[in-house]
């Protein structure tokens, strides 16, 4: 399916986004030589998505240079188009230090989900992006000024870990004063949350901290990794946090009767009306282990090992 001009939503003088399953940011800068310089925020799931984005750019701009893909994090649905776009355009890839490492060694993602060398059944494009080299690495939070035709666009790199190892958000201040926040997967849109109430996360505690942090970031628009753009952060941040807290409560309630992790996964899936397939079994199982760690470290649950099995229970 082609990317259409109807999917391109202009937000400020130089900044737009492509409304796609994974939202893609587009920064457009006209140069004196007539060539339009472009930056992308994320690149979609795979080579097919990369090709669709490139076809759209070829249709939209007569003379352009794709300068860089700026990645929020290294999950395949956000960086899977990188390698294709790099091959076709010679663009750079920018990312945080932790995410850069994972982009260059993507096997680690499936190993994290599986807890060891992953079975081939989950080594698909949905979890395993093609490896790509990262040219510019963000070492923490920083501000970058990008010169353009009528001033400078400011890019603030903001650390928002939790959903993944070293996820970053990007706050752009355009020359017209508009502020646009690309939030990555620290935020999910309402429809995305309704569809997937139990969202993948690697560190539950850091996810909650990042949700608190982003609520203090002032912007005119907030673009979640998936779902609809909002101009008010409070409601959508609270909904994301509510999903986490309700999942916590569900886990604690289920652990009134001690359970192993697989028993807990079955109980949560049954209670949520989820029929687990292989990838969901791994992703939701990994997510529940992250929840269990957060609840254990906060003293709300404990464990004991009986007959060579680890049982988790409510304190």
CATH number at residue 22: 3.60.15.10
**pLDDT score at 197:** 85
Task: Quickly state the pLDDT bin for 149 (edges 50, 70, 90).
Answer: confident
CB burial string 21-43: b at 16+ within 10 A, e below = ebbbbbbbbeeeeeebbbbbbbb
* Residue 40: strand, helix, or coil: strand
Long-range contacts of 156-160 (CB under 8 A, 24+ apart): 157/96, 158/213, 158/214, 158/217, 159/96, 160/184, 160/186, 160/210, 160/213, 160/214
Range of the domain at 26: 5-314
**pLDDT score at 31:** 85
CA geometry: angle 54, 55, 58, nearest 5 deg: 85
Domains identified in the chain, total number: 1
The DSSP call for residue 24 is E
SS3 for 60-99, per residue? HCCCEEEEEEECCCCCHHHHCCHHHHHHHHCCEEEEEHHH
Task: Quickly state the pLDDT bin for 38 (edges 50, 70, 90).
Answer: very high
Q: pLDDT higher for 124 or 92? A: 92
On whether the CB atoms of residues 44 and 20 are closer than 8 A, the answer is yes
Alpha carbon distance 219, 238 (integer Å): 17
**pLDDT score at 109:** 92
Contacts of 311 (CB under 8 A, 6+ apart): 258, 259, 260, 303, 304, 305
Alpha carbon distance 122, 120 (integer Å): 5
pLDDT digits (tens, 9 = 90+) for 223-265: 999 999 999 999 999 999 999 999 999 999 999 999 999 999 9
**pLDDT score at 253:** 98
Q: How far is CA 252 from CA 141, 153, 257, 267, 307, in A?
A: 35, 47, 9, 12, 23
Task: Quickly state the pLDDT bin for 195 (edges 50, 70, 90).
Answer: confident
- Six-digit token string for 146: 């990008």
**pLDDT score at 150:** 81
On whether the CB atoms of residues 131 and 80 are closer than 8 A, the answer is no
Torsion (CA) 13, 23, 226, 147 in degrees, nearest 10 = -50
pLDDT digits (tens, 9 = 90+) for 85-113: 999 999 999 999 999 999 999 999 999 99
Q: What percent of the chain has pLDDT over 90?
A: 91
Short-list 295, 314, 298, 315, CA closest to 244: 295
On whether the CB atoms of residues 100 and 67 are closer than 8 A, the answer is no
Contacts of 49 (CB under 8 A, 6+ apart): 20, 22, 43, 80, 81
Alpha carbon distance 130, 97 (integer Å): 18
pTM of the model: 0.95
On whether the CB atoms of residues 263 and 309 are closer than 8 A, the answer is no
Task: Quickly state the pLDDT bin for 11 (edges 50, 70, 90).
Answer: very high
List phi, psi (to 5°) of 112. -65, -45
Residue 1 has pLDDT above 80, yes or no: no
């Amino acid at each position: 399916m082609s990317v259409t001009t109807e999917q391109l939503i202009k937000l400020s003088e130089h900044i737009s986004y492509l409304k796609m399953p994974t939202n893609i940011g587009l920064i457009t800068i006209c140069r004196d030589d007539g060539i339009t310089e472009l930056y992308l925020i994320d690149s979609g799931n795979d080579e097919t998505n990369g090709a669709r984005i490139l076809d759209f750019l070829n249709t939209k701009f007569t003379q352009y240079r794709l300068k860089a893909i700026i990645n929020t994090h290294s999950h395949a649905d956000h960086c899977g188009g990188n390698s294709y776009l790099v091959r076709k355009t010679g663009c750079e890839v920018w990312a945080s230090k932790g995410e850069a490492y994972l982009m260059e060694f993507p096997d680690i993602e499936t190993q994290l989900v599986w807890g060891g060398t992953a079975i081939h059944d989950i080594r698909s494009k949905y979890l395993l992006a093609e490896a790509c080299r990262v040219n510019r690495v963000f070492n923490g939070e920083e501000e970058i000024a990008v010169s353009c035709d009528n001033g400078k666009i400011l890019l603030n790199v903001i650390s928002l870990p939790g959903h993944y190892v070293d996820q970053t958000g990007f706050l752009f201040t355009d020359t017209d004063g508009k502020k646009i926040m690309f939030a990555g997967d620290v935020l999910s849109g309402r429809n995305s949350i309704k569809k997937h109430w139990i969202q993948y996360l690697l560190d539950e505690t850091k996810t909650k901290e990042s949700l608190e942090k982003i609520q203090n970031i002032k912007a005119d628009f907030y673009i979640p990794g998936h779902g609809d753009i909002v101009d008010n952060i409070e409601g959508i941040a609270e909904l994301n946090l509510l999903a986490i807290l309700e999942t916590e409560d569900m886990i604690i309630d289920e652990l009134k009767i001690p359970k192993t992790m697989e028993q807990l996964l079955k109980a949560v899936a049954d209670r949520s009306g989820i029929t687990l397939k292989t990838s969901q079994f791994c992703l939701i199982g990994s997510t529940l282990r992250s929840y269990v760690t957060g609840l254990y470290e906060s003293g709300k649950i404990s464990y004991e090992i009986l007959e060579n099995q680890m049982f988790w229970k409510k304190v």
